[in-house]
Structure 1
Amino acid sequence: MTANFLLSTVMICCMLKLPICQPKIVEELEILKTYRRKAVFVGAGDLLLCFITLVMQLIAPLAQGIRTRSLPYSIWLPYSTEPILNYILTYIVLTLMAIIGMPMTVASDCTISGLMMVTCSQLEILQFRLARLNTRSDVKECVQHHNIISKFAGEIGKIFGAAVFVHFLLSMLNICSVIYVVSKAESKSGLIISALFLLCMLIQLLLYCWNGNEVFLRSQAVTHTAMDSTSWVILPQEMKKAFLLIMARSQKPMHMKAGGILDLSLSTYMMILKTSYSAFNLLQQVSNK
């Protein structure tokens, strides 16, 4: 699965290796650099937060004392952890699983959100070029560039949409359960760890929804730029038709979807939070009876 994930990522990234997608002047290069810095900052921040949460989860049981036989995660085991050897081996296995799994989770989140940032950067470059049309070749390149961006965004949805949809469903359940655990936490360490874990999940969901929303807004900006451009008026009739094709296609903004069902947008993010909180209230009412 990991190999297919990496192969798919490489394949769609090769779509943007075409000369038409590469920056031609300093301003376009600066656009790419801005999004690159943003992607690095977001990825580093997400990794740091997850790393802090992981460290807290792993050292909290040790802080309670080895006699309590507390584990980093609550799991069912077919054997007792009362023997010291069983406890140590179980603790080591859980630690290794967490150390391996955390970077993989962060990598997948940052890869998908990073690809959406790439889409935004290409849309902004296209918008920059549309505002400065001069020749017939400029219009032709803009039409081809817009087609490539649309195909690129569509491939992201086809390859990763199902995985993101499952991630969203599981996150709603996790957010609900973690909020419940936070409300029932008796120790400060348990409260802090649960709060950090909740923050990690909220930020990971926000990465998808925020960047999906940015793709939508950028595609709308391309539409407005195409309509407001005055350069197309002086173009030959053949090129006007090509330019109208851009405006017609850009009338339908790009929507990044999870499984072809949920739009990756800030409204979806708020819907997930509201649904999780409603489920938490129901769970709390049932537990109080």
Structure 2
Amino acid sequence: MRILNSTFKFLIICGCWRPTSWTSPCKRVMYHMHTVFIFVLINTFTLSQLLDIILIVDNADDFTDNFYMLLAMIVSCCKMLSMLMNRKNIAILANILTEKPCKPLEPSEMEIYNRFDKGAQANMIHYAIMVETTCVCITLTSLLTDFRKRTLTFRAWLPYDYSVPFLYYITYAHQLISLTIGSVLHVACDGLICGLLVHICCQIKILESRLKRITREPDILHDCILQHNRIFDLAFTINEKFRYTITIQFIVSTLVVCFNLYQLTRTVNVKYIQLTLYMCSMLTQIFFYCWYGNEVKIKSRQLVHNIFEIEWYMLDQNVKKALLMIMKRSTMPIEFTSAYIISMNLDSFVGLLKTSYSAYNILQQV
């Protein structure tokens, strides 16, 4: 049994997850080379944009032109680094979800598992379509405007003269390929983290299903206690290993929305559509984190009420004591945070929008 199959395919494409069938030394080396190539590609693109802002930009308009894309590429680099550093932890999390006591056994449990897993993958595919549509729009806009003028899609500082045709084509292709790979990295990382949050919700539902059978199958109590502990372990590990990625995402999303609003008010050309799509993608990105974090909190809190609805009079004292321990622990719901400060919930999403709009107003006055 595998989880988030589509998500891991995206991770394979962007060099963060070697295919399980590639076990030979030759294929291992090939995939390591692929990973290094992707890492160098997106980092050189990001560095060229950063150096442009540091060394060349001297006014507010030039600064805002590419700053939103620089922020997105910085996050892409951070996400790839996070995925590479946490490959062992990702494998451990996937194994926990596919092994006992978390592994679904009954047909009803398999139905719950399939519903949540398919839902998570469907959302990721829709998100990927939105992000890649934005990339296609940026590419087509650039081909129709920048390519004809022999200018680059994005401002960049380069240690050579790209006016030479051959160097221009190489640099132009480098920017567009880096943009596409960066977007795939966003999809892969966001799909993985949000998918794991979905599977925590799935485990809570499976646990509820097992607890309802406890009057008929008292022996299942031991597995329920272990599963409840594993759910908290999963949540803690995800929160711990990806906290920097989530924190950077929150900060960057706020800045991007702010600068995009500013750009939209001063843009009346063909780039208006690409900026709109770009901002929609960024808002969807952070909305997924907040939505699924909110769902985990709600479902972990509802567990207390679902246990309370069990036919307690049919249970012996030891079972009742064990259920009370689970209920007591569930009174403190699972909560995902950004840097242990900002909770990942819908209130935080609304707060992000308000903060971005306030910053936009300040930027307009300046």
Q: TM-score, normalised by structure 2?
A: 0.74
Tell me how far apart the structure 2 counterparts of residues 225 and 116 of structure 1 sit (CA, whole Å): 20
SS of residue paired to 1:254: coil
Tell me how far apart the structure 2 counterparts of residues 136 and 93 of structure 1 sit (CA, whole Å): 62
Q: Is the counterpart of residue 59 in structure 1 residue 134 in structure 2?
A: no
Preserved CA contact (<8 Å) 2:260 2:279: yes
Tell me how far apart the structure 2 counterparts of residues 185 and 83 of structure 1 sit (CA, whole Å): 30
Query: CA separation of 1:101/1:229 partners in 2, compared to 1, >3 Å: closer, same or farther?
Result: same
List aligned pairs for 1:234-253, cutoff 5 A.
234-253=314-333
SS of residue paired to 1:255: coil
Tell me how far apart the structure 1 counterparts of residues 190 and 87 of structure 2 sit (CA, whole Å): 13
List aligned pairs for 1:139-288, cutoff 5 A.
139-187=221-269, 189-230=270-311, 232-286=312-366
Preserved CA contact (<8 Å) 1:157 1:259: no
Preserved CA contact (<8 Å) 1:129 1:142: yes
Tell me how far apart the structure 2 counterparts of residues 123 and 25 of structure 1 sit (CA, whole Å): 15
Q: Deviations over 1:43-97 (max 9, x none)?
A: 1111111111111112212212645233222334455544434432221111221
Preserved CA contact (<8 Å) 1:233 1:240: no
Preserved CA contact (<8 Å) 1:119 1:153: yes
2:111 matched residue in structure 1: 30
Q: Deviations over 1:165-221 (max 9, x none)?
A: 11111111111111111111120x210000010011011101111111110111112
2:54 matched residue in structure 1: none
Aligned to 1:15, which of 96, 101, 109?
A: 96
Q: Which runs of 5+ in 2 are unaligned?
A: 1-80
SS of residue paired to 2:195: helix
Q: Is the counterpart of residue 138 in structure 1 residue 206 in structure 2?
A: no
Which stretch of the first structure deviates more once superposed, 272-281 or 98-107?
98-107
User: How far apart are residue 18 of structure 1 and its match?
Assistant: 2.8
Question: Aligned partner of 1:87: which letter?
Answer: Y
Aligned residues: 284
Q: Is the counterpart of residue 98 in structure 1 residue 151 in structure 2?
A: no
Preserved CA contact (<8 Å) 1:172 1:276: yes
SS of residue paired to 2:334: coil
Q: TM-score, normalised by structure 1?
A: 0.92
Percent identical residues:
31
Tell me how far apart the structure 2 counterparts of residues 58 and 167 of structure 1 sit (CA, whole Å): 24
Tell me how far apart the structure 1 counterparts of residues 257 and 346 of structure 2 sit (CA, whole Å): 17
CA root-mean-square deviation: 1.7
2:124 matched residue in structure 1: 43
Question: Aligned partner of 1:267: which letter?
Answer: D
Q: Is the counterpart of residue 113 in structure 1 residue 194 in structure 2?
A: yes
User: How far apart are residue 99 of structure 1 and its match?
Assistant: 2.5
Tell me how far apart the structure 1 counterparts of residues 238 and 122 of structure 2 sit (CA, whole Å): 22
Preserved CA contact (<8 Å) 1:57 1:193: yes
Tell me how far apart the structure 2 counterparts of residues 18 and 80 of structure 1 sit (CA, whole Å): 57
Tell me how far apart the structure 2 counterparts of residues 3 and 66 of structure 1 sit (CA, whole Å): 35
Q: Which runs of 5+ in 1 are unaligned?
A: none
Tell me how far apart the structure 2 counterparts of residues 200 and 65 of structure 1 sit (CA, whole Å): 23
Preserved CA contact (<8 Å) 1:150 1:254: yes
Tell me how far apart the structure 2 counterparts of residues 254 and 169 of structure 1 sit (CA, whole Å): 23
Which stretch of the first structure deviates more once superposed, 169-178 or 65-74?
65-74
User: How far apart are residue 39 of structure 1 and its match?
Assistant: 1.2
Tell me how far apart the structure 1 counterparts of residues 304 and 276 of structure 2 sit (CA, whole Å): 42
Query: CA separation of 1:57/1:65 partners in 2, compared to 1, >3 Å: closer, same or farther?
Result: closer
User: How far apart are residue 238 of structure 1 and its match?
Assistant: 1.9
Question: Aligned partner of 1:179: which letter?
Answer: L
Question: Aligned partner of 2:185: which letter?
Answer: M
